[in-house]
Amino acid sequence: MDNPLREGLIQERVPEPLVLVIFGASGDLTKRKLLPAVYTMTRERLLPAAFAVVGLSRFEWDDDRFRAEARQGCDTFARRRPVDETLWSNFGRSLHYVAGEFDDPEAYERLKARLTEIDARYGIPGNRLFYLSTPPSTFPVIVERLGKAGLVSRQLKPWTRIIVEKPFGRDLGSAQLLNRQLKQFFREMQIYRIDHYLGKETVQNMMALRFSNGIFEPLWNRNHVESVQITAAEAIGVEGRINYFEEAGILRDMVQNHLFQVLCVTGMEPPVAMTADAVRDEKVKLLKALRPIPREKMDEHVVRAQYARGRVLGESVPGYREEPGGNPASTTETYVALKLLIDNWRWGGVPFFLRTAKRMPKRVTEIAVTFKPAPHLMFARNGAPPVPNVLSIRIQPDEGITLHFGSKVPGPSIDIAPVNMEFRYGTSFGSEPPEAYERLILDAMLGDGTLFIRDDETETSWGFISKVHEAWAEQRRKALPGYPAGTWGPPEAEALVKEAGLEWRKP
């Protein structure tokens, strides 16, 4: 029976009583994101009264040490600060810790015993949410050990769910293998592949913008859109993650997941409902419509590069190969730009340019939709080019939407000047948007997979990306273009857009 007192409250549903089990409890993500998110959700009364967290990692910590680390994380990173002492006295007590290696069967027996004890103490009916905040190489063994320890149930009640952090595989083959490994013990509906970009308000607002307004969707097609640019630029370098990044490269790290998700919400057809499968069906359809890039034409569609030393935001920074622990002969890309074509009726012939890089002039993520010019330019003076109409959706920072258009300059002659019409989240809605992890963890607790990635989505996107990697593998001897840190990328990337008569935006 639903709780009648819940009706009408902003959170009409709270998750059923559960234990959140975090693998990798001593890690950075747990401290910076996961526990602060859970604390804030508790603060905002979004969680059930019967709720506990169990952290597991190889460090020989006890409950008190885990709580102290959690407190430090919340003091520094929680959205609602300072931490409420009264609340913390209850919340802190609900944090528990089990020490153990991920491949040690005895650790899972200890975990099982601890969960049984916590269930009895809090009145939790056995619901479990496992969060794998661990290196991808550990996913298979954790899943197998959980399954063999009898900690996974395929039943609906009590339920078991698992959140898997990216990277979800490193190519199509490994993604398929991981899916098979997960499905030995979990059903697809129990698996929540997380991409925190989908938890961002602005990415969700893209769907709201497109599907709750009548004015945009009629223009959102090949008849009116000239091109789309999606940029995810970072000013930082590899920040101590050189080993990971050297293996991954930015194509794996950013494009296969984040940028493709942004591409999907920008280009997909309207789903029949805002339900998990309806939305994900449309995303998969879009990914399947991406035109394969012939291997011999890869350079015409994909440009990769690596940053050299330069200046970013007024500071001198080393080149990628000079980063601490870096490989002086590295050919790992820190910049990638792609020209994609979508073979469907909506987008036939419209180029989608995707670009992401480290060490760009600033941190910015945006989607820019450039519309076709007016068919007859009767105000063009002295051959001045028309002002392009651009709808730009800024995802971070300073989230908002800007429409760029031409307007008459006051005066006796008709001169057209570009102007912006701006909507900014910060000034239009005073309320602070939740952190992406708050939204996503809560959704997983509630069993809503809409903002998570389905198995066929990840395999389709890897299918496309793996083809690029295969082509690059054949070009091993080819020199990798460079770009000075603090610039918008290599000259080679300009050619990618120039062919379409465009330039890269400088957002």
Partner 1 sequence: MTAPPPDQVRSFQQARTVSPAAVEQELASLWRQAVDSPGGGAGEQVTRACLWNLIVYDPRPERDGPGGPEHGKALRTLLDQVTVAIPARILRLEAWAADRAPAPEREVEAWVAARCLMPDAGARQLAVEEITYAGYGSRGLSHFPSLVRATLLPDLPIAMLWLDDLPHEGWLLDQLLPLCQRVLIDSQSVHRDVALLAVDKLVNSTVTLFVDLGWMRLTPVRYLLAGLFDPPGRAEQLADLRHVRIVTTQRGRNAGLLLLSWLLSRADFRAHMPLAPEGDDMLYRWRSRRGSAAVEVEFSIEAGEGGYDGVILAELNAGGDLFSIRQVDDEHVALHSPDRREQKLALHGWREPELVIAGLGSLGIDRFYPQTLAVAASLVEDTTWNR
* 4-12, 23-31, 381-389, 446-454 -> range binding partner 1 (CB under 8 A): 4-12
Using the rule CB under 8 A, which residue among 300, 322, 432, 474 binds partner 1?
432
What is the strand order of the sheet 191-193 is part of? 95-99, 51-57, 18-23, 128-132, 160-164, 191-193
Residue type (1 letter), 2? D
Helices 260-267 and 201-211: angle between axes, nearest 10 degrees? 20
Whether omega before 158 lies within 30 degrees of 0, making that bond cis, reads: yes
Closest distance of CB 311 from partner 1, Å: 21
Name beta bridge partners: 446: none
- For residues 111 and 56, the answer to whether their CB atoms sit within 8 Å is yes
- For residues 254 and 355, the answer to whether their CB atoms sit within 8 Å is no
Total residues contacting partner 1 (rule CB under 8 A)? 33
Does position 173 bind partner 1 by CB under 8 A?
A: no
Does position 431 bind partner 1 by CB under 8 A?
A: yes
DSSP reduced 3-state for 217? helix
As a whole number of angstroms, the distance between CA 407 and CA 387 comes to 9
* 143-151, 336-344, 418-426, 498-506 -> range binding partner 1 (CB under 8 A): 418-426
Closest distance of CB 384 from partner 1, Å: 21
Does position 14 bind partner 1 by CB under 8 A?
A: yes
Using the rule CB under 8 A, which residue among 63, 84, 277, 492 binds partner 1?
84
- Per the annotation, the verdict on 376 as an active-site residue is no
Does position 418 bind partner 1 by CB under 8 A?
A: no
* 63-71, 140-148, 288-296, 425-433 -> range binding partner 1 (CB under 8 A): 425-433
**Closest Cα partner for 131 from 38, 215, 226, 264?**
38
Site string for partner 1, 48-67 (x = CB under 8 A): xxx-----------------
Choice between 148 and 424, CB closer to partner 1 = 424
Choice between 83 and 336, CB closer to partner 1 = 83
Does position 215 bind partner 1 by CB under 8 A?
A: no
Radius of gyration of the chain (CA): 24
* 7-15, 271-279, 363-371, 493-501 -> range binding partner 1 (CB under 8 A): 7-15
Using the rule CB under 8 A, which residue among 76, 116, 125, 270 binds partner 1?
125
**In sequence order, what E strands does 239-383 have?**
302-308, 310-312, 315-317, 335-341, 351-357, 364-371
Residue type (1 letter), 33? K
Does position 17 bind partner 1 by CB under 8 A?
A: yes
Using the rule CB under 8 A, which residue among 64, 72, 76, 90 binds partner 1?
90
* 62-70, 85-93, 270-278, 326-334 -> range binding partner 1 (CB under 8 A): 85-93
DSSP 221-280: STTTEEEEEEEEE-SS--TT-HHHHHHHHHIIIIIIIIIHHHHHHHHPPPPSSSSHHHHH
Closest distance of CB 427 from partner 1, Å: 5
Using the rule CB under 8 A, which residue among 86, 137, 382, 413 binds partner 1?
86
Q: CA distances (Å), 142 to each of 126, 131, 134, 179, in order?
A: 19, 11, 10, 14
- For residues 189 and 220, the answer to whether their CB atoms sit within 8 Å is no
Residues numbered 139 to 158 that lie near partner 1 (CB under 8 A) are none
Does position 213 bind partner 1 by CB under 8 A?
A: no
Cα 189 off chain centre by: 20
Helices 85-93 and 35-43: angle between axes, nearest 10 degrees? 120
Choice between 45 and 297, CB closer to partner 1 = 45
Residue type (1 letter), 177? L
Name beta bridge partners: 370: 227, 390
Choice between 81 and 112, CB closer to partner 1 = 81
**Closest Cα partner for 115 from 90, 89, 157, 150?**
150
Closest distance of CB 131 from partner 1, Å: 22
Does position 7 bind partner 1 by CB under 8 A?
A: yes
Whether omega before 167 lies within 30 degrees of 0, making that bond cis, reads: yes
As a whole number of angstroms, the distance between CA 133 and CA 262 comes to 23
Name beta bridge partners: 420: 404
Does position 8 bind partner 1 by CB under 8 A?
A: yes
How many Cβ atoms from other residues are within 10 Å of residue 504's Cβ? 18
Residue of 96, 196, 224, 258 marked catalytic: 258
Choice between 167 and 434, CB closer to partner 1 = 434
Using the rule CB under 8 A, which residue among 270, 349, 426, 491 binds partner 1?
426
DSSP reduced 3-state for 67? helix
Residues numbered 25 to 44 that lie near partner 1 (CB under 8 A) are 43
Choice between 51 and 108, CB closer to partner 1 = 51
Using the rule CB under 8 A, which residue among 5, 215, 473, 479 binds partner 1?
5
Using the rule CB under 8 A, which residue among 314, 328, 412, 430 binds partner 1?
430
List contacts with partner 1 (CB under 8 A): 1-10, 14, 16-17, 43, 45, 48-50, 84, 86-87, 90, 123, 125, 422, 424, 426-432
Catalytic residue positions, numbered? 258
